[in-house]
């Protein structure tokens, strides 16, 4: 059981590195899909292992969930990297649009308007901190 758990923890560590890489490229939905797949697979494999295998399957179900999720995360990252030039050069917005979501408005209201949007500043305006 120790060997199986050792491989499962290795797969989980590599999966965390994939999470970091996916987060670096701002692929938040891919991180959510990969993390959600790990949670659901771990739960489903754990319940099936408990029902069919009893206590002998504890480490193996974690290994199965980690291995399948590692494959899912690797596929997500390889799908992005195969089209990386499109995402870097074509998928970016041409004109800057400042964030205007509810949390941004709340932060502006709580700070009394002291939060500035640096990309909005034009040449010669300087940074005005109040």
Domain-embedded: residue 64:
yes
> Domain range spanning residue 50?
2-89
Would the pLDDT of 129 be above 50?
Answer: no
Contact, 22 vs 34, CB < 8 A? yes
CA 114, 119, 122, 126 dihedral sign is positive
Would the pLDDT of 44 be above 90?
Answer: yes
Q: Residue 96: which region, alpha, beta or left (left: phi > 0; alpha: psi -120 to 50)?
A: beta
Domain-embedded: residue 128:
no
Check residue 125 and report its DSSP letter.
Answer: T
- For 2-43, write each residue's pLDDT tens digit: 888 899 999 999 999 999 999 998 888 999 999 999 999 999
- For 61-80, write each residue's pLDDT tens digit: 999 999 999 999 999 999 99
Distance CA 3, CA 110 (A): 53
Domain-embedded: residue 11:
yes
For the whole model, what pTM was predicted?
0.68
Domain-embedded: residue 96:
no
87 — pLDDT class (breaks 50, 70, 90):
confident
Q: What pLDDT, on the 0 to 100 scale, is given for residue 76?
A: 93
Angle at 15 between CA 11 and CA 19, to 5 degrees: 170
> Integer distance in angstroms from the first to the last C-alpha of the chain?
61
Domain-embedded: residue 103:
no
Query: Which position has the higher pLDDT, 54 or 61?
Result: 61
Q: How many domains does the chain have?
A: 1
Domain-embedded: residue 6:
yes
Domain-embedded: residue 46:
yes
């Amino acid at each position: 059981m120790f060997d199986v758990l050792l491989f499962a923890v290795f797969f989980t560590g590599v999966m965390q590195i994939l999470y970091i890489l996916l987060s670096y490229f701002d692929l938040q939905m891919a991180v959510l899909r990969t993390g959600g797949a790990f949670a659901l697979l771990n739960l489903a494999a754990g319940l099936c292992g408990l029902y069919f295998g009893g206590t002998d399957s504890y480490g193996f179900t974690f290994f199965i969930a980690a291995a399948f999720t590692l494959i899912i995360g690797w596929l997500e990252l390889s799908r992005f990297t195969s089209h990386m030039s499109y995402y870097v050069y074509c998928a970016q917005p041409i004109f800057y649009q400042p964030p205007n979501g509810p949390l941004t408005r709340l932060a502006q209201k709580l700070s009394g308007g002291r939060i500035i949007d640096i990309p909005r500043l034009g040449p010669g305006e300087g940074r005005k901190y109040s």
